[in-house]
Chains A and B, each alone.
Chain A
Amino acid sequence: MMQWPNIKWIYIREMTDQFRDRRTLLAVFLMPLMMYPLIGMAFMMVSQFVKEHRSEVLVIGLENLPPEPGLIMGNLFSEAHAGETLSKLIGIQIDDASVFSGAKIDEDRIQQVIHDELYDLVIVFPEGFATQFLNLAERLRQSGEDREFLEITELPCPIVYSDSTRERSSLTRGRVTRILESWQTALVERLFESARLPQFLKDPVQIESKDVAIQEQKRVEFLSSVVPYMMLIMALVGAFHPAVDVCAGEKERGTLETLLSSPASRNEIVVAKLMTVMSFSMTSSVINLLGLGMTAAFIGSQGSGLGGEVIQFGLPPMMALVATLPILIPMAAFFSAVSLAVATFARSTKEGQYYMVPMMMASLPLMVVGMMPGTELDLGTSLIPVTGMMLVLEAILKSEYHLAFRYITPVLLVTFSCIVLSVRWAVAQFRNEAVLFRESERWNLVLLLKHGVKNRKVLHGSAAAVFAAVFIMTFRLAAGNFGIHPNTPEALALLNIASQILTIALPCVVLAWLTARDLRGALRLGEFRTGWVVSASVLALVFHPVAVYISRVIEWLYPVHSGVKTMVEQAFGTLGDADFFYVFLMIAVTPAICEELAFRGYILTGLQRDFSRGGAVFLSSFFFGVTHGILQQSISAFFVGLVIGTIAVQARSLWPCMAYHLVHNGVTVLYAFVIEDSTRLPEVLQSIVTVDIAVGEVRYSPGAILFGLVIVLLFYGGIYWRSDQDR
């Protein structure tokens, strides 16, 4: 039972404490309110610099220009082509004697003056340009219907020299190009006039593009995609600092014990602290939004001249902004709970700050995915934590309420599951004496390794397990890029088998030998109990329909990219012609041995020393999934990993896991290479499973899927009941 007054008093105390901290006030309130206007001002200053900076241009061969149409008037480009503003921004120097002497143009010298920043750009009008142009115009005028002038040579072309690596030079190039294009058009017009051709012929086919975007939406496009990102980032940053202060700070000041020995229960303390962190997370997010909004409104009001042609700074409607606030609450809760759980590890605020980077690294990709132009809100993306929420926020800001409304349920479901998990994690952290009263450990890698190998314990720990997992992932990645393409399918299979043994099984066996005294125990090679092995095999058969269904759902949610499909087909397509024996060895037997030795053997065993059973199984399955490389495969492998991991923990032996894995993969191979078609199946099975390898499909009847699901639930229920009995 939670005592609300306790929560209230702790919350009030924490808030007062935070508000009395000048750093917090500065970071949460003043910074965002001042930072955005400053960024805005800087932006405006830069855009003015871009606009008003003068370009210096050297023109060589002015006398080669035809008098009409006039390009240069005095020392400026003619306003007819440049316009008033642009004309004044470009200073022209004509025929610098140091660059141009006599008739010869020295290209090296031109390059030199641009590199030396004497000029931003040099234009050379070639000799005879005017004469040839006028000549051409004259011949066009004189020629009659027969037009026999077509053998004339092309006009010599003017050359523009600039340096694209120099900011000012390329800026000038952009300006000059615009002017020259206008002048070119004028020249062409002259020629058309001379030939008495209608002007429209110079550009007979015009493509007209019309933007049907509603003006309002176009205006808010930019901010609608930036605001959700800012809101979430600030919610995370805003949560993290107070989280470190209320956890690590309390440890550092030695007040944790007094609080823990007060009548407030651990749950009440966590809830109050969580509320404090959440308050700051939300405040920080909202204040940042305010700062950003005010700045955007100000820049927007300065007219389109300030980069407005590229980006429009229109604010989303007030109604949409307000509608995002309720969404912010679950997001802030999630970030706060995670921050709190992470911050509990820290012994001091200084140490806590170090955890900020990994937190950011973990959550940034999820936010960036949401920002990417190709990502749209659909059922698949709505199920990704954080990303889904970002896309909903974006939809709301773009006033696409129907879209946001359609996916708000899955997004909220995912977010609430994340909240529940993270709050439970935070509470568990606060109940964990080892975390609350963590002693400092000294870290010295070489010493630690030496010490570790020399004084290795009976079994290795989670550090070694995580190391093994990372090692395998890196190895797999490297092996994948090895670039050997054997030409026979058998050779391909053998190569794959060798790579599995070398990159998955071998590292773990070597590590087990180095880090644990009980080699068999480290790899979980316990007693071979027939009962468990048979049960696991049967479970694999029964669960197969569920596993197949899960992969189907995943592929429906996250369709495999066509590029990935082609890649896989290129790599393994020839296997279809291979002997069944090789394929079975490669897909069923070798993974059953190698992957089990690694993931349920070495890695899970190590993780179990420092994590609860559930936590260890979850993590090992996560690594198991990640090693599979392709996202869709990874997710289904994760689920299968959960089941095999549970078997491993329950049976305390790897043999049933290998049996499960062998049956699971073996059945798939059987369908694909032996049965190929349902009609080959015995009649009893035909009602349960449909195989059509031509379209690459295995389908189970709903009954089989349901049955598998029930059996697995019973399996887990039984385990839960047994562990409950043990307690």
Chain B
Amino acid sequence: MIEVRQLRKEYPDLRKGSVVAIEDLSFRADPGQIFGLLGLNGAGKTTVLRILSTILAPTAGTARIGGYDVVESPESVRRQIGFVSNNLVGYERMSGKEMVAFFGRLHAMDEATLKSRMELIFDWLQIDDFKNVLGSKMSTGMKQKVSIARAIIHDPPVLIFDEATVGLDVLAARSLLKVIRELRDEGKCVIFSTHHMREAEYLCDHIAILNKGRIITEGSLESLRMESGQEDLEELFFQTVSSLDGISDGNSQVTVEGAG
């Protein structure tokens, strides 16, 4: 479903010329699977997900979703995905219902389908009580629910969650994780980034640990535990990251002088 090969992304930088955000990144994720992208802040998680959502263009390498290339046919890719970012502010002067309907219409859904789909989703996510509340009046939990409703309104096969639990209280975070599992059970391919190891442990079928733009280890939770001999994912993470940092400290950020 998602196929990423040797992806590389450089950002221009005023001081250094350019900064490499991700490098030589390859992985795949399948339907009915929750793929966890783990890493510290600045590891490149958001960059990967933004490339998958066609918001950014890769400097090199390919990414394909449902067979479509993110660079060659971004429009087709966008129809395959639902993107939930960590930024929950949303449109302040629109109600949840309007927001969801707006994105449904952009996905060329006809009004009848849109209506029935909205009813279904609002019921499932328990949005009905506040569907007419304006964005500026919603609580964080409400915004998160609307955000998910917006992302799944067109029933996309792939869902991308970029640090979606950041800023949520325990209860809201739990209900979000539950929703994500249900989506997986429906057969969606879910890609989920977090720096929260417990969440990954609880949720993900397959985990890739990202450090300074590269995947340092990847596999199912069991295989990762087997390999490292560590039961606890957080311990495992720190072990891997620190052992790597000891060797390649300061080398992972390549700067290209005078480029551009």
Contact = CB atoms under 8 A, between A and B. Distances in A.
A457 interface: yes
Interface in A441-486: 441, 455, 457-459, 461
Given A21-B93, A257-B83, A441-B14, A263 B56 contact: no
Contact of B87 (A3, A254, A260, A609): A254
Contact of B79 (A20, A263, A441): A263
Contacts of B83: 257-258, 261
Interface string A177-215: 000000000000000000000000000000000000000
Interface stretch (A4-12, A32-40, A713-721): A4-12
Contact of A258 (B85, B92, B98): B85
Contacts of A434: 11-12
A466 B57 CA distance: 30
Interface string A611-647: 0000000000000000000000000000000000000
Contacts of A255: 87, 89-91
A253 B103 contact: no
A262 B107 contact: yes
Contacts of A257: 50, 53, 55, 83, 85, 87
B257 A263 contact: no
B75 interface: yes
A258 B88 contact: no
Contact size class for A?
20 to 34
A17 B94 contact: yes
A461 B105 CA distance: 44
B90 A253 contact: yes
Contacts of A13: 91, 94, 98, 102
B106 A263 contact: yes
A683 interface: no
Interface residues of B, number: 37
Contacts of A3: 108
B184 interface: no
Nearest to B50: A257
Contacts of A263: 75, 78-79, 106-108
Contacts of A458: 257-258
Contacts of A610: 260
Contact of B85 (A16, A254, A433, A457): A254
A264 interface: yes
Interface string A238-263: 00000000000000111101101111
B62 interface: no
Contacts of B106: 6, 9-10, 262-264
Contact of A609 (B15, B78, B260): B260
B215 to A, nearest CB: 23
Contacts of B78: 261-263
Interface string B16-46: 0100000000000000000000000000000
A265 interface: yes
Interface string A9-35: 110010011001100000000000000
Nearest to A253: B89
Contacts of A254: 85, 87-90
B167 to A, nearest CB: 12
B55 A261 contact: yes
Contacts of A258: 83, 85, 103, 150
Q: Which of B53, B105, B108 has the largest count of A CB atoms less than 10 A from its CB?
A: B105
B81 A261 contact: yes
Nearest to A521: B258
B54 interface: yes
B152 to A, nearest CB: 13
A388 B187 CA distance: 62
A17 B56 contact: no
A610 B14 CA distance: 9
Interface in B135-193: 150
Contacts of B17: 457
Interface string A415-448: 0000000000000000001100100010000000
Contacts of A253: 87, 89-92
Interface in B99-135: 102-103, 105-108
Contacts of B90: 253-255
A253 B91 CA distance: 7
A631 B218 CA distance: 66
A255 B89 CA distance: 8
Q: Which of B14, B79, B88 has the largest count of A CB atoms less than 10 A from its CB?
A: B14
A702 to B, nearest CB: 44
A459 B258 contact: yes
A692 B225 CA distance: 92
Nearest to A516: B258
Given A254-B88, A257-B55, A459-B258, 4 more contacts: A13-B98, A253-B89, A254-B90, A261-B83
12 contacts: A5-B105, A13-B102, A17-B94, A20-B94, A253-B87, A253-B90, A253-B91, A255-B87, A255-B91, A257-B55, A262-B107, A433-B57
Interface of B: 11-12, 14-15, 17, 50, 53-57, 74-75, 78-79, 81, 83, 85, 87-94, 98, 102-103, 105-108, 150, 257-258, 260
